Amino acid sequence: MSRSPTLPDRPTLELDPDMSDGERLSALRDHLEKTVQASEELKHQLALAADRHEELETKVDRFERENRALKTTPRYVATLEEVTDDGVVIKQHGSNQEVLTQLSQGLRERVESGMRVAIDDSFTVQTVLSNETDARAQAMEVEHSPDVTYADIGGIEEQVRDVREAVEAPLVDPDQFEAVGIDPPSGVLLYGPPGTGKTMLAKAVANETDATFIKMAGSELVQKFIGEGARLVRDLFSLATEHEPSIIFIDEIDAIATERTDSKTSGDAEVQRTMMQLLSEMDGFEERGNVRIIAATNRFDMLDRAILRPGRFDRLIEVPKPDETGREKIFRIHTRDMNVADDVDYERLADRTAGFSGADVRSLATEAGMFAIRDGRTEVTTVDFEDALAKLTEEESGRANTFDAPSASPTYVY
């Protein structure tokens, strides 16, 4: 719609005094016709202007309401639980009070359940907290029911079974533990070399139990959130409670739970505080309900034994590199969506990749695909796998002299 409609030209009537009566009559008729036309056009433009006026009034009204809401200082943080036709249900952090409230149309279009919002005293939603304003989101990865399944994990069947027993069973059927009269394991610690599927395992349990997966990396916590570690650990547990059922996954737990040293630097003190907070959250989290905790490390030797006490990480599961049969399975998993030639022999590939982790096997499959693409083919052949293997082995020997040892070499400390 045009913002400022142009008015039609006003018809003019010019009568020559020398005109005959007939000519005068015809000129008058012509003028009448033009006047009627101009009047129609004006009516049409008036209708358009009225529509526009109404549209602008609605906008002004919305801006005024949003302006009023924004002028009030945000006070409480809440999670938007549900968007319904009657308004939105929010749950205030801290008090856990649930309220049905209204949203301005502008906000309504931007929200979805699970988002954090700022509310005032009268529970009016003032603004949606974006990821940038949500410090917790920077440190944590929150994913509802991730799409990894047990079928995506190969070669560590025993570990999958142990994790299901320790984490999945208490979530799915807590009553059986009560009936038997035992407490389910508090926390599960997965340890082993990098790239062996520890994160996948935690995600698969979250998927199977339809739980929210909340991941926090110990290293990031220590490096990026100096001074905030303890608060973030507190937040982690309260976030997990808000999203029940949920799985807290603390990756690289060694970064915050290394054995205490005598060093008195402030950085160490900060790490200690973060760890103490973690221990106290775990200790005070008796009635954990639908929240389970999994941690992972590839530096088991460095861990402070305090975190392994009963009631804390009291179930230890070693996740090793896959053996030959395991590698074959992982090859099959990572090539199932690839267009692979029939003669590719996975058994032989598994035999030739001793020392490879699951992640290495995946890289090899991807690299083989890249060789096919470079060659302008859509089918991946045995030669592509051979070339990929040669390339990775070469890269690996190039890196072998650096401190960042490749995962294909079985030299990890864990």
Residues 380, 369: Cα–Cα separation, whole Å: 6
Q: Which stretch binds ligand ATP (CB under 6 A): 22-30, 96-104, 128-136, 198-206?
A: 198-206
Task: Tell me how far, at minimum, the Cβ of 253 lies from ligand ATP, in Å.
Answer: 11
Q: Among 195, 222, 206, 223, which residue's Cα sits nearest to residue 361?
A: 195
Q: Which of residues 187 and 197 has its CB atom nearest to ligand ATP in the complex?
A: 197
CA 341 to chain centre: 36
146 contributes a contact to ligand ATP by CB under 6 A: no
Q: Among 85, 242, 214, 71, which residue's Cα sits nearest to residue 137?
A: 214
330 contributes a contact to ligand ATP by CB under 6 A: yes
Interface positions, 108-127, toward ligand ATP (CB under 6 A): none
Cross-strand partners of 90 = 80, 99
199 contributes a contact to ligand ATP by CB under 6 A: yes
Task: Tell me how far, at minimum, the Cβ of 148 lies from ligand ATP, in Å.
Answer: 8
Residues 15, 24: Cα–Cα separation, whole Å: 7
Q: Which stretch binds ligand ATP (CB under 6 A): 52-60, 67-75, 153-161, 226-234?
A: 153-161
Buried b (16+ CB within 10 A) or exposed e, 156-188: beebbebbbebbbebbeeeeeeeeeeeebbbbb
Contacting ligand ATP (CB under 6 A), which of 185, 197, 218, 229?
197
Task: Tell me how far, at minimum, the Cβ of 159 lies from ligand ATP, in Å.
Answer: 9
Contacting ligand ATP (CB under 6 A), which of 79, 126, 196, 207?
196
Q: Which stretch binds ligand ATP (CB under 6 A): 47-55, 81-89, 170-178, 195-203?
A: 195-203
- 271, two tokens: 């790490």
168 contributes a contact to ligand ATP by CB under 6 A: no
Contact criterion met (CB below 8 Å) for 146 and 207: yes
In the sheet that holds 87-92, the strands lie side by side as 98-101, 87-92, 76-84, 116-119, 125-128
Q: Is 109 helix (H, G, I), strand (E, B) or coil?
A: coil
Q: Which residue of the chain is nearest ligand ATP when measured via CB? A: 358
CA 395 to chain centre: 32
Task: Tell me how far, at minimum, the Cβ of 319 lies from ligand ATP, in Å.
Answer: 6
Contacting ligand ATP (CB under 6 A), which of 90, 140, 153, 282?
153
Contacting ligand ATP (CB under 6 A), which of 69, 115, 150, 155?
155
Task: Tell me how far, at minimum, the Cβ of 299 lies from ligand ATP, in Å.
Answer: 10
At 318, give phi and psi (nearest 5°).
-85, 130
- 237, two tokens: 């547990």
Q: Which stretch binds ligand ATP (CB under 6 A): 24-32, 46-54, 193-201, 219-227?
A: 193-201
Residues 76, 242: Cα–Cα separation, whole Å: 15
Interface positions, 333-362, toward ligand ATP (CB under 6 A): 333, 358-359, 362
Identify the H or E element spanning 372.
helix 358-374
205 contributes a contact to ligand ATP by CB under 6 A: no
298 contributes a contact to ligand ATP by CB under 6 A: yes
247 contributes a contact to ligand ATP by CB under 6 A: no
Contacts with ligand ATP, residue ranges (CB under 6 A): 153-156, 194-200, 251, 296, 298, 322, 330, 333, 358-359, 362
